[in-house]
Each structure stands twice: as structure tokens, then as C-alpha cells.
Amino acid sequence: MKKTVFLFPGQGSQSVGMCHDFYQEFDFVREIFDMAQEITKINLSKLCFKGPMEELTKTVNLQPAVTAVNLSLLAAIEKENISPDFTAGHSLGEYSALCSSQIISKEDAMRLVFKRGALMHREAEKNKGAMAAIVGLAIDDVRQLVAGVQSGEGAVSVANHNAKTQIVITGSPDQVKQACAMASSKGARAIPLKVSGAWHSELIKGAEEEFTDFLDSVDFKADNNSLVFNVTADFASEPDEIRSIMAQQLCSPVRWYDSMLKLEAQEVELFVEVGPGRVLSGLSKKILPKKYHEKILNINSLKSFENFLKTAHTI
């Protein structure tokens, strides 16, 4: 098989019904959901398959739910004895990537995302936040823009650099609103996002110390330069370094655009989104040259999984 990367989505990719066909088809998927439900005490199968969407999208539920789906689809691939050369995950999805690279176990990934979701929810309850997508400005322009609306009473910063001119900002509602107005005045589109907190911002900094302590309870293994991390858009090998990066990830920007360029530089030939939705596939098509577009695949249903297997066995 050609040089391959598995990409794992995070919050924003969910839908009611996700992974139901895999759950019905495979015992090992049901076992992953059972494990996740034992750790979280949340009926994740009911939330994923029946909703309601309002409950599913609460971050305390959503983080383990999306991770259970990602890990189930990854397990289906692993049963076929297929493994990637590289992995990456967008924000929450990075925990699934850690599993794919065998840096942490599936059980520890579930414990981490459940704790992460609970802490993020707690901080969002304390500090009201907002996020918005800015489309049409380069990263330096957005950084300059948010710097112009910083104040002592609020905060705004870059949350995700998703594509060259697709950037998400995060912070206090008034400051995010001001930044959006400035972006619009410069000809960009500013799109408020339906989120329950200001993720990847100083407003959830109160979760960082407790989450760092929780990370210390998890066994991290060394990596052979297979995972491109959100915080650095680069590889890391030593367990302590990886643990430190994951502690920083909570409040640091997601450097997805730079991460994808890093993977392109590694001469990756097949990009496979493993998880619900098509968010990362869409971003890949915006970032990568057109010659790659036929080699960007999704695995989010049994049909797409079968298509991936056919492709994997013919290239």
C-alpha cells in the first residue's frame, strides 16, 4: 500500500446515527462501546444512534462519543491488518491518533477524553465564550486583527488554523464579535459557530493544571515519528515530550494547515479520514494540490469502508 495517513476528526463532525452500521455488524465495535460506557457511565450507543442531537453535542458527552466512533472504525481497519505510516487528529481527534500510533491504549484514550470533556464543560460554565470562523484572510492578518481587539476585560485568539484562509477564532463573546466585524470590513466572511465554550483559549486555562495531573496517570509509549501533533505541526518521539504536548493542546491553537503541509512534505500519497463526517476530507481538498484529490478517502460507513479496502488492496 502507498504511504498513508489516517486523519481523525473531532467535535463538529458528529451526527445522530453515526457508527450504527458498524455496531450492528461487528462484535468488536460493540465491545468498544461497552468499554467506553463502563468508563464514562454514559449510554453512548443510545446517544450516537438515537440522539437527541442537543444531548449528543454537549461536550461532556460528545468527546467520548466521537472518540468511541473513531476507535471503532480504527478497529475495523486494524482487523484487516492495515496500518498507516502516519497519523494526525484534529483537536479531540488527536486522542484517536495516539491510539492509532500505539502511544496510548484505547481505554486510556477514553479516560482522557472523558476527563477533558468534563473539565472543558466546567470551565465553559464559569467563563462564557464564543468561536467564529474567519474565511478569506491569511493567518497573519487574523493574528493582527485579534491583537487589535484585545482588552483587559476579555480575550480573543486563534483557535484553529484549518486551511490557508480558513481560521477559527475563540474567546470572550464581545471580543469575538468585534473581531468578526473587523474581518467583515476587510472583505472576509465571519461565521459564528454553535459551540458551548471558547475552546483552545485562555478562558479554559483553569482546566490545564488538573488535566496535566491526570495525564501523568496515563502510560505514554514512545513514537517512531508517525504522529503529527496539533500544537507543533511536527513529530515527537519521547513519552514525556508527548505528554507535555498533550497538556498544552487544551489551550493552544490547532495548527492543522501546517500539519497537513508537514504530511505532504513526507510524500504521503493516501489521506484517509477515519471517523464521522467529512470535515477533514474537505479541508484536505482545500490544502493539498489537485493531484491528491482522488486519494482522499472517508471511512464513516460500511460502504465507505468497503471502498477503502478495495482501494487499499489495489494501490
Say how far apart CA 288 and CA 291 lie, in whole Å.
Answer: 8
Name the pLDDT band for 152 (thresholds 50, 70, 90). Answer: low
pTM of the model: 0.97
pLDDT at residue 304 in the model: 97
Say how far apart CA 66 and CA 14 lie, in whole Å.
Answer: 7
Number of H helices, E strands in the chain: 14, 8
Say how far apart CA 175 and CA 156 lie, in whole Å.
Answer: 6
Using one digit for the tens of pLDDT, what is the confidence trace for 251-268? 999 999 999 999 999 999
Say how far apart CA 214 and CA 170 lie, in whole Å.
Answer: 25
Residues of the chain with CATH 3.40.366.10: 4-124+203-312
Phi, psi of 160 (to 5 degrees): -135, 130
Using one digit for the tens of pLDDT, what is the confidence trace for 232-252? 999 999 999 999 999 999 999
Residue 272 CB neighbour total at 10 angstroms: 25
For residue 52, whether the previous peptide bond is cis, meaning omega lies within 30 degrees of 0, is: yes
Residues of the chain with CATH 3.30.70.250: 129-196
* Choice among 72, 91, 100, 281 that is catalytic: 91
Residue 273 has pLDDT above 70, yes or no: yes
Q: Are the CB atoms for 124 and 172 separated by under 8 Å?
A: no
Catalytic site residue 200? yes
* Choice among 90, 121, 161, 200 that is catalytic: 200
Q: CATH assignment of 129-196?
A: 3.30.70.250
Say how far apart CA 96 and CA 98 lie, in whole Å.
Answer: 5
Largest CA distance in the chain: 58
Q: What is the dihedral angle through the alpha carbons of 194, 200, 204, 210, rounded to the nearest 10 degrees?
A: 130
Using one digit for the tens of pLDDT, what is the confidence trace for 42-83? 999 999 999 999 999 999 999 999 999 999 999 999 999 999
Candidates 3.60.150.10, 3.30.230.80, 3.40.366.10, 3.30.70.100; correct CATH number of 4-124+203-312?
Answer: 3.40.366.10
Catalytic site residue 121? no
Tell me the average pLDDT across 295-305. 97
